[in-house]
Amino acid sequence: MKLDGKVALVTGAASGIGHQIARRYVEAGGRVAIADLNLDAAKAAAKELGGETDAIAVAMDVTKEDEVNAGVETTVSAFGKVDILVSNAGIQIVHPIEDFPFSDWKKLLAIHLDGAFLTTKACVKHMYKQGSGVLIYMGSVHSHEASPLKSAYVTAKHGLLGLTRTMAKEGAKHGVRSNIICPGFVRTPLVDKQIPEQAHELGITEERVVKEVMLGETVDKQFTMTTDIAEVALFLAAFKTNALTGESILVSHGWHMV
Ligand code: NAD
């Protein structure tokens, strides 16, 4: 699977899953814009991945239309085009719904859903002109399953499944395909933060959160790795035809099977 100079914009790529996808894309011959709220971390990631030729850092809050539009234009100015969008930036906030602050609900939905909408809108403008493009959304097992305490996250991740399928239909006549990757638990800063929070909310030990809540339904009690997700993201980006579109690919050690 090769990217041969293809240009990808990956949001939330200064950390975790997005960072690993950016690394894998550069290894496969792609050029990557590392778009993140955390500009210092994005710059460090871009430097590590090869500097100006293969990777650039782009300051972007995915919830802000002007920043998204400016970041996509920066990418196109630097690399001449945008072939692949990986809409990956995300956060997690857990509370029982009766205690869920409305501000946290709105913040989470904005990052996942407004972010996916705004980046898609800005990128397809360029993709439609060139008659090709790849949209990849970062969903979750929670695009298909629900868990207690995660009303906002489950709602957002189910929403992304809808956007994926809509974009498969809208993008088809422009040569643009759209798919969603749905990981199980991946040990990144996002998950590390949740372990003590869930232990507190559920009144159990952190060890039980990992064994029973996070890995309880997997077939082998293993965390999914960032490298597993990056391989699937490469497969979707480098796939030769538009046969594979509108699909949801679960990468979860069998936690959820469709
Ligand atoms: P992470 O915390 O390691 O990285 C998230 C990145 O997103 C950070 O660099 C952060 O600065 C950036 N970000 C946050 N808000 C932003 C904003 N408004 N604009 C731009 N960037 C922003 O998290 P991760 O675990 O790598 O998660 C990445 C994606 O994968 C998320 O969408 C998450 O929901 C999804 N996911 C993660 C897991 C998991 O277990 N880690 C499982 C399924 C899905």
For the chain of 258 residues, list the mean pLDDT of each consecutive stretch of 10: 95 98 98 98 94 92 98 98 98 95 98 99 98 98 96 98 98 98 94 92 94 95 97 98 98 96
pLDDT at position 49, please? 93
Q: How many Å apart are CA 36 and CA 103, to the nearest integer?
A: 21
**175 Cα: distance to centroid of ligand 1 (angstroms):** 28
Instruction: Determine the pLDDT at residue 190.
Output: 87
Catalytic residue among 25, 128, 137, 153: 153
Active site residue 137: no
Residue ID of nearest Cα to ligand 1 atom 44: 140
Ligand 1 site residues, Cβ closer than 6 angstroms: 11-12, 14-18, 36-38, 60-63, 88-91, 111, 138, 140, 183, 185-186, 188-191
Whole-model pTM: value is 0.97
Residue nearest to atom 6 of ligand 1 (CA): 12
For the CA of 223, the nearest atom of ligand 1: 40
> Which domains, and CATH codes, for the chain?
7-185+224-251 (3.40.50.720)
Confidence at residue 51, expressed as pLDDT on a 0 to 100 scale: 76
Contact 169, 245 (CB under 8 A): no
CB 20 within 8 A of CB 224: no
Contacts of 136 (CB under 8 A, 6+ apart): 84, 85, 86, 87, 178, 179, 180, 181, 233, 236, 237
Task: Please give, one letter per residue, the 3-state secondary structure of the chain.
Answer: CCCCCCEEEEECCCCHHHHHHHHHHHHCCCEEEEEECCHHHHHHHHHHCCHHHHEEEEECCCCCHHHHHHHHHHHHHHHCCCCEEEECCCCCCCCCHHHCCHHHHHHHHHHHHHHHHHHHHHHHHHHHHHCCEEEEEECCHHHCCCCCCCHHHHHHHHHHHHHHHHHHHHHHHHCEEEEEEEECCECCHHHHHHHHHHHHHHCCCHHHHHHHHHCCCCCCCCCECHHHHHHHHHHHHHCCCCCCCCCEEEECCCCCCC
Query: In testing the pocket of ligand 1, which one of 112, 137, 154, 188 has its CB within 8 Å of the most ligand atoms?
Result: 188
